[in-house]
């Protein structure tokens, strides 16, 4: 008899089976491959709905577990966590995943790697669901890394393009830096507590009586993992480059789900973070800083996917900030609504990109609204939702975060408000420049036409979710049945509404005439524009560091190996042997002249010694 517990494993392993089947058997059968992958994720979605209902009704779902590894005196048990948090996340991942899978049918049509694409997507779904269901830190880390590798494979999907291959590598390595801290943190916690299991740790951790320094160290190291995966400052640099991947990948992995895994993980281990107020503060400020910085950068970008990528960074910053202020429910709320509208925006951008034959510069677009009405309307909905306009989903979730921090941390609150205004501005800028006015480049945008149903249907579905996901605050109430928003008056909400609207208005004033380029903003901002355009030169700084520090260390080691170990060590020893051999050879070489010389020198030395 299949219980709900068994279904949990079915949800997890169906995509893995699909991925394996595609890789081993159906690489040359694109339709079958797509069918397998889509079948697995749709099955996952249906089963996740069933689980969701079960959890809602208060059923305790226990998945069968198995010992994976015996450790000295204890065991690593392979198990699943099914609670409100993971039930919601399962639904988001499989739901958004399913729409994006369908969309990919249209977007990837005719690509020579079609089957491989769906194979990698299935591998990604497996890894992501593994993170969601993980019952202990090691399981979490295992899937954490697997998500990283599927992201690597998908960013570098078009590996014949050097920029794509390079971006994949960068993403992996930057994530590894975060994971270095994460793994250290995991080992530290395991060594201190003697277990990796979340449920056991949650009960045990506060009772261990650890010093505040150790608590902060553990929490800080675990946070490192989230900084990498959720692309927070200073490890944010990989995400914009990850846009080299196909657009459905950007939507699914680099907007809706994987990058949110960091936030999800932080919510999962909230007990750990709560034990260290200093680290909570650090988390909040990291999030706030990332939110503001990314929003600023987005203002000066021209590539539609990069604008959305920086927007993702910024929104992730909101979530991390909320976690840092202890508002995990609000963070998960925003994570969910963001998954819908950001996936929608990316897919909309993808629809535009196919229509324009892979042109991504918004200043080559224009006038797309009439040619692509469905894409335009859904993109507009996504923009309004992201901007936080009532009554769309983003309004509710973003305001929940803003309200939570209004009293908790005033400076961060102000930063978040500025970010909200900037968000309104850069999204309206992208929308107005790309969709309104006249086509700037006839060759590119003149002959655009609406995408097929397989592309627009997912847009419509996601648009509906972006509208309704926030209503009645069902999501936070599900996560936390006694959820109450901070008390507030209508005036504050109107204020929250006015700020993004001001951003919209400013963009309207600047771009309504359909300027050919961004000259007005450039002159308005002066040198700041260059700074933003170049992303505060963080990448250049890292390049310098990599070349100087890592390159230097590597060169030092390689030089040492050549000079000291191989030269002086090996050469010295072999030289000594050769020298000894040369000396002995002189004695045995049969050279009369040398014998004579040695005799004379010997006699002389002897005479000197007696005559001393």
Partner 1 sequence: MIPTTLTPGAFALSLTWGLPALTILVLALLPESRARLIRGVSLASALLNLALVAGLIAAWPAHRPPAGAEVPLAFAARLPWFSQPNISYFVGVDGLSLLMMLLAAIIAVCGVLVSWRIETRAKEFFIFMQVLLAGVFGCFISFDLFTFFLFNEVTLIPTYLLIGVFGSGRKEYCAMKLNLMLFAGSALVLVGLLGLYFASGLHTFDLFALAQVRFPADFQHWAFPALFLGFGVLGALFPFHTWSPDGHSSAPTAISMFLAGVHMKLGGYGCLRVAMFLLPEGAREWMNVFLVLSTINILYGAFVAVKQTDLKYINAYSSVSHCGLVLFGYAALNFLGLRGAVLQMFSHGLLTALIFAVIGMLYGRTHTRQLGELGGLMTRLPFIGVAFTLAALAGLGLPGLSGFVAELNVFLGAFAQTPLLNKVCTVLAILSIVVTAVYLLRTINKVLHGPPQEKDAGLKDADLAERAAILILLAGVILMGVWPRAITWLVDDALQPIVEQLAR
Q: Which is nearer to partner 1, 373 or 567 (CB)?
A: 567
Residue spans of alpha helices (H) in 469-547? 474-479, 490-511, 519-525, 527-533, 538-545
Residue 306: CB atoms within 10 Å? 20
Helix (H, G, I), strand (E, B) or coil at 194: coil
Task: Let me know if 370 is exposed, middle or buried by CB neighbors in 10 A (0-12, 13-18, 19+).
Answer: exposed
Both tokens of residue 249?
Answer: 């990948």
CB of 222 to partner 1, least distance (A): 15
CB of 543 to partner 1, least distance (A): 14
* Residue from 256, 226, 268, 312 nearest 85 by CA: 268
Q: Which is nearer to partner 1, 95 or 178 (CB)?
A: 178
CB of 73 to partner 1, least distance (A): 9
Q: Which is nearer to partner 1, 134 or 308 (CB)?
A: 134
DSSP-derived letter for residue 485 is P
Helix (H, G, I), strand (E, B) or coil at 59: coil
Q: Which is nearer to partner 1, 71 or 524 (CB)?
A: 71
Q: Which is nearer to partner 1, 474 or 561 (CB)?
A: 561
Separation of alpha carbons 494 and 498, rounded Å: 6
CB of 336 to partner 1, least distance (A): 27
Task: Let me know if 328 is exposed, middle or buried by CB neighbors in 10 A (0-12, 13-18, 19+).
Answer: buried
Binding site for partner 1 (CB under 8 A): 67-72, 138, 141-143, 145-146, 149, 152, 156, 159-162, 165-166, 169, 172-173, 176-177, 179-180, 183-184, 187-188, 190-191, 550, 553-558, 560-561, 564-566, 569-570, 574
Backbone angles phi, psi at 80, to 5 degrees: -125, 145
Task: Let me know if 63 is exposed, middle or buried by CB neighbors in 10 A (0-12, 13-18, 19+).
Answer: buried
Task: Let me know if 529 is exposed, middle or buried by CB neighbors in 10 A (0-12, 13-18, 19+).
Answer: middle
β-bridge partners, 134: 80
Residue 213: CB atoms within 10 Å? 10
Is the bond leading into 391 cis (omega within 30 degrees of zero)?
A: yes
CB of 444 to partner 1, least distance (A): 25
CB of 559 to partner 1, least distance (A): 9
* Residue from 108, 102, 152, 159 nearest 127 by CA: 152
Q: Which is nearer to partner 1, 161 or 357 (CB)?
A: 161
CB of 279 to partner 1, least distance (A): 19
Q: Which is nearer to partner 1, 161 or 443 (CB)?
A: 161
CB of 227 to partner 1, least distance (A): 14
Q: Which is nearer to partner 1, 56 or 554 (CB)?
A: 554
Q: Which is nearer to partner 1, 160 or 482 (CB)?
A: 160
The CA distances from residue 404 to 265, 327, 328, 331, 569, in Å, are 20, 7, 10, 10, 64
């Amino acid at each position: 008899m299949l219980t709900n517990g068994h279904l949990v494993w079915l949800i997890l392993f169906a995509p893995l089976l699909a991925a394996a089947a595609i890789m081993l058997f159906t690489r040359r059968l694109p339709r079958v491959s797509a069918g397998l992958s889509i079948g697995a994720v749709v099955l996952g979605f249906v089963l996740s709905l069933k689980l969701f209902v079960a959890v809602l009704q208060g059923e305790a779902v226990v998945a069968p577990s198995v010992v994976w590894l015996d450790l000295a005196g204890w065991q690593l048990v392979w198990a699943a966590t099914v609670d409100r948090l993971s039930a919601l996340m399962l639904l988001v991942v499989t739901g958004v995943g399913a729409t994006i899978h369908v969309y990919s049918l249209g977007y990837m049509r005719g690509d020579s790697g079609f089957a491989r694409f769906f194979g990698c997507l299935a591998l990604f779904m497996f890894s992501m669901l593994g993170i969601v269901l993980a019952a202990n830190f090691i399981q979490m880390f295992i899937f954490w890394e697997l998500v990283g590798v599927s992201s690597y494979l998908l960013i570098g999907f078009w590996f014949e393009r050097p920029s794509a291959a390079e971006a994949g590598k960068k993403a992996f390595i930057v994530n590894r830096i975060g994971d270095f801290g994460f793994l250290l943190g995991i080992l530290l916690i395991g060594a201190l507590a003697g277990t990796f299991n979340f449920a056991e740790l949650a009960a045990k951790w506060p009772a261990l009586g650890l010093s505040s320094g150790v608590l902060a160290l553990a929490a800080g190291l675990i946070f490192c993992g989230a900084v990498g995966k959720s692309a927070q400052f200073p490890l944010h640099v990989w995400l914009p480059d990850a846009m080299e991947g196909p657009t459905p990948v950007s939507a699914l992995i680099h907007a809706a789900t994987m990058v949110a895994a960091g936030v999800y993980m932080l919510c999962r281990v909230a007990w750990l973070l709560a034990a260290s107020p200093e680290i909570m503060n650090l988390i909040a400020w990291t999030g706030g800083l990332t939110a503001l910085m990314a929003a600023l950068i987005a203002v000066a970008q021209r590539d539609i996917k990069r604008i959305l990528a920086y927007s993702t960074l910024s929104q992730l910053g909101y979530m991390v900030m909320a976690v840092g202020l202890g508002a995990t429910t609000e963070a998960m709320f925003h994570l969910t609504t963001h998954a819908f509208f950001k996936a929608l925006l990316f897919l909309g951008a993808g629809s535009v990109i196919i229509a324009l034959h892979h042109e991504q510069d918004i200043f080559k677009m224009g006038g797309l609204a009439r040619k692509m009405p469905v894409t335009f309307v859904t993109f507009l909905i996504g923009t309004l939702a992201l901007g936080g306009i009532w009554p769309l989903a983003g309004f509710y979730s973003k305001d929940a975060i803003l309200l939570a921090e209004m009293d908790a941390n005033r400076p961060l609150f102000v930063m978040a408000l500025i970010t909200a205004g900037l968000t309104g501005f850069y999204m309206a800028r992208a929308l107005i420049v790309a969709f309104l006015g006249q086509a700037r480049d006839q060759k590119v945008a003149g002959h655009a036409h609406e995408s097929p149903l397989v592309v627009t249907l997912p847009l419509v579905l996601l648009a509906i979710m972006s509208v309704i996901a926030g209503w009645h605050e069902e999501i936070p109430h599900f996560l936390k049945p006694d959820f109450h928003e901070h008390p507030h008056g209508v005036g504050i909400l109107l204020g929250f509404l006015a700020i993004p609207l001001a951003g919209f208005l400013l963009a309207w004033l600047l771009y309504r005439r359909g300027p050919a380029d961004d000259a007005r903003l450039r002159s308005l901002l002066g040198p700041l524009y260059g700074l933003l355009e170049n992303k505060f030169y963080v990448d250049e700084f890292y390049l310098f560091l990599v070349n100087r520090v890592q390159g230097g260390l590597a060169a030092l080691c390689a030089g040492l190996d050549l000079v000291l170990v191989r030269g002086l060590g090996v050469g010295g020893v072999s030289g000594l042997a050769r020298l000894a051999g040369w000396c002995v050879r002189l004695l045995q070489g049969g050279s009369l002249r040398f014998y004579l010389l040695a005799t004379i020198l010997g006699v002389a030395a002897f005479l000197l010694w007696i005559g001393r």
